Amino acid sequence: MPDRPLSINSFPRAILHIDGDAFFASCEQARDPRLKGRPVITGKERGIAASMSYEAKARGVTRAMRLSEIKKICPDAVFLPSDYETYSLLSKRFYEIVRRYTSEVEEYSIDECFADITGLRRPLRMNYPKIAVRIKADLDRELGFTFSAGLGPNKTIAKVGSKWKKPSGLTIIPGYHIHQYLAERYTEDIWGIGPQTSAYLKKEKVNTALDFARKPEDWVREKFPKPIQETWRELNGKFVLALETKEKESQASVQKVRTFTPPSKEKEFVFSQLSKNIENACIKLRRYNLAASRGEFFLKKQNFRYAGIEARFSRPTAIPSDIVGVARTHFDEIFEPGTSYRATGVTLFKLSEDKVKQMDLFGEAIRAVELKRLFEGVDRVNGRFGKHSIFLGSSFLANKFSQHLGARGDLPKRKSLLAKGETKRKRLGIPMLMASQSGI
């Protein structure tokens, strides 16, 4: 790209998007230096690749590839069970480092965020590109693996920048250079433009992001809904999509899915796994003081096909025993005897504030209040002694046996190496602690 001195007009708003490179696999490499430079794949417990290091990607490994297939093209691959506790803790550290520079941070996902650094040139005594360089350098150094970043006048352009050069890239796109970058990106490469929209644009002979950005506004308004119109405006350098920096206070729906190995044909075992998912979903509902009016229960077969059913509840509820009862009623409609299942799941939706609206003649309202208090007490006990210290009898088999048995049942190192005073359920918030290395 041609050089040109950056001015204040280059960034009427300065938005930084930061994306962790191969985040889960990189967390493992950072924790164990012996894994540096090796093809690392997480997801051993699921039998498929959940994340892979760039060394593995270079060998042709892709996400969701089966481990048996990976071994054929990458026999020296290192397979590890996913350690989401550690990934979450490192994610929090990632956000904390960015917040040293700005409080305006949107935690977009576990491995990426947006940061608004507008107006910080004078307080930090450096221009926007230097601020971006400093943040990236701190992240790379302190977390022990690399991040890719993009700086632009809005979120969409910042996203273009972070994807431009991976891994460990930093791409700065001032307003007057946007068109040069968009000319080299197809519409499907743009954040916010899905495959259906991209396919339609191709029929309209709109192939690149620049083609779309140059379309008249009236044409865009006529053919597309508001979200795509907003993306079009951002591609033209406008700041439209504000950062969502507040902690999420509610949920549109709650979903819990649980994979287990080996697959099972046992009806009660599979139902127990579903029951545990329902309990986990209800824990989240109660956290936000929400109740669900409808739910979908589904089973995943060994051949990766799904069977599911949607049900309406008699009243909005966050009581797991109520929802498990509904699931039990419909379970035979989706469970096929003799079929192997590898996962169960539940989605609860049509959410509303959890409150009893009126009394009734049969005491259901009183029962609902008593059950709500009961499970609030269960939440307090589980909060103190560990999740699922108290659970429903229908979840017994899922809690009695490990989620994954055999080779896939390996525990993440953070769970198998405990510090003094830690238990399997209660651990210090220290992601990098390795008991074998620390001498604890």
Give the residue numbers annotated as catalytic, written as ranges: 112
Q: Give the residue from 81, 34, 77 showing the smallest Cα distance to 410.
A: 81
Instruction: Name the burial class of residue 433, with classes exposed (0-12), middle (13-18) and buried (19+) by CB atoms within 10 angstroms of its CB.
Output: buried
Q: How far apart are CA 252 and CA 257, in angstroms?
A: 17
Q: How far apart are CA 299 and CA 282, in angstroms?
A: 19
Burial track 180-209 (b if 16+ CB lie within 10 A, e otherwise): ebbeebbbeebbbbeeebbeebeeeebebb
- Looking at the chain, the number of H-run helices and the number of E-run strands are 18, 12
What torsion, rounded to 10 degrees, do the Cα atoms 220, 225, 228, 232 define? 30
Report the SS3 class of residue 59: coil
Report the SS3 class of residue 176: helix
Q: Are 120 and 102 in contact (CB under 8 A)?
A: yes
Q: Give the residue from 262, 315, 248, 255 showing the smallest Cα distance to 282.
A: 255
Please state at what angle helix 267-287 crosses helix 320-334, rounded to 10 degrees: 140
How many residues are there in the chain?
A: 440
